Amino acid sequence: MSNKPKIAVFGSGSWATAIVKMLCENMETVGWYIRSEQSLEYIQENKHNPNYLTSVEFHIDQLKLSNDINEMIDYADYLIFVIPSAFVHQELAKITTSFEGKILFSAIKGIIPESGLIVGEHFHDILKVPFENIGVITGPCHAEEVALERLSYLTIACRDENKAEIIGNSLASRYIKTKTSDDIIGTEYAAMLKNIYAIAAGIAHGLGYGDNFQSVLMSNSIREMKRFIKKVHKMKRNINNSAYLGDLLVTGYSTFSRNRMFGNMIGKGYTVKSAQFEMVMVAEGYYATKSAFELNQKNGAKTPIIDTVYRILYEGKNPKKQFKKLTDLLD
């Protein structure tokens, strides 16, 4: 296995922890950058993450742990970023070493608030990484089910499909199946947009709409997602593939999704501020809504669901009235 490229994961949330677990099924050594020294020491002593997927036990000698981001970048050939999008900017600011020749994968699923870009675009536009060296890891996949080793499917996207395959093979195991795609822009936008639709699903639920409406909302969401992505990056894609529709469904129908929960509180009458205050971490879809709405002002796709969520979250509009109007635009 010594010919295998060196891979490192950056981040210590539940999804990062799940990806480290997957890699440990195949690799002799997995790099793992953890910002907090405390968390790092905890893992070294207790062999599991102190805060997420605590049931997942690691072989410490298989992990190359560090809280020095530059050291970890220098170590690895493939860098998998799994930092919440709201913290990516401040983490990247610490970097003094070079990305030259490095291959950057994003498993972040969100917009970087400071640039308003999806992570792949941010890597390309801001960090000047060529698209051939940028990839995306996408679900449908709840980290909690990886911890339970329940069968899950991942899509690994990269313009250079060889690189997608290398990461795919490193993640695949008896409970993980992977496929590759060359649609890095589309899969990453899908992963971001689904969080907006999950907020919409949550608002609908909070307002008392039922399962019949939910299915109509999801049916409209996938059509809207298709129109939105087509304007951003037109190419041949089947929007019903797992990376798009599957990812929408696993989030939209999940009662554990942070985005859906956030929407549910809004639907039940919380203000945006009070809903955010109640949640330990801001739902990714909150930022995604603003970026998607603004981007689409230029692109002009028909996106009644995104528009509705935007008006509720950013213009203080009444959720009940906005959804009443939305119901007339769906079919």
Query: Which positions touch a copy of itself (CB under 8 A)?
Result: 139-142, 145, 148, 150-153, 177, 179, 208-216, 218-220, 222-223, 226, 238-242, 245-247, 249-250, 253-254, 327-328, 330-331
Half-sphere exposure of 241 (CA within 13 A, CB side): 22
Rounded least distance, CB 102 to a copy of itself, Å: 29
Has 143 been labeled as part of a binding site?
Answer: yes
The reply, when asked if residue 258 is annotated as ligand binding, is yes
Cis before residue 5, ω within 30 degrees of 0?
A: no
The first and second tokens of residue 285, run together, are 């879809």
Is the CB of 223 or the CB of 302 nearer to a copy of itself? 223
Nearer to a copy of itself, 174 or 273 (CB): 174
Contact assessment for residue 62 and residue 30, using Cβ atoms and an 8 Å cutoff: yes
Q: Supply the minimum distance, in Å, between the C-beta of residue 154 and a copy of itself.
A: 9
For residue 37, the minimal CB distance to a copy of itself (Å) is 33
Closest CA to 292 of 271, 322, 313: 313
By beta-carbon proximity to a copy of itself, the closer residue of 137 and 250 is: 250
Catalytic residue among 21, 194, 290, 321: 194
Catalytic residue check, 234:
no
Kindly give, in sequence order, each residue whose CB lies less than 8 Å from that of residue 202, ignoring residues fewer than 6 positions away: 257, 259, 260, 261, 262, 263, 264, 265, 266, 267
Task: State yes or no: 181 annotated in a binding site.
Answer: no
3-class secondary-structure state, position 309: helix
Q: 93 or 329: whose CB is closer to a copy of itself?
A: 329
Q: Is 186 annotated as a binding residue?
A: no
Q: SS3 for 62-106, per residue?
A: HEEEECCHHHHHHHCCEEEECCCHHHHHHHHCCCCCCCCCCEEEE
Report in angstroms how near the CB of residue 168 gets to a copy of itself at its nearest: 12
| Residues in a beta bridge with 195 | none
Active-site positions read 194
- Residue numbering of the annotated binding site: 14-15, 35, 52, 109, 139, 143, 194, 247, 257-259, 282, 284
- Residue numbering of the annotated binding site for sn-glycerol 3-phosphate: 109, 139, 194, 247, 257-259
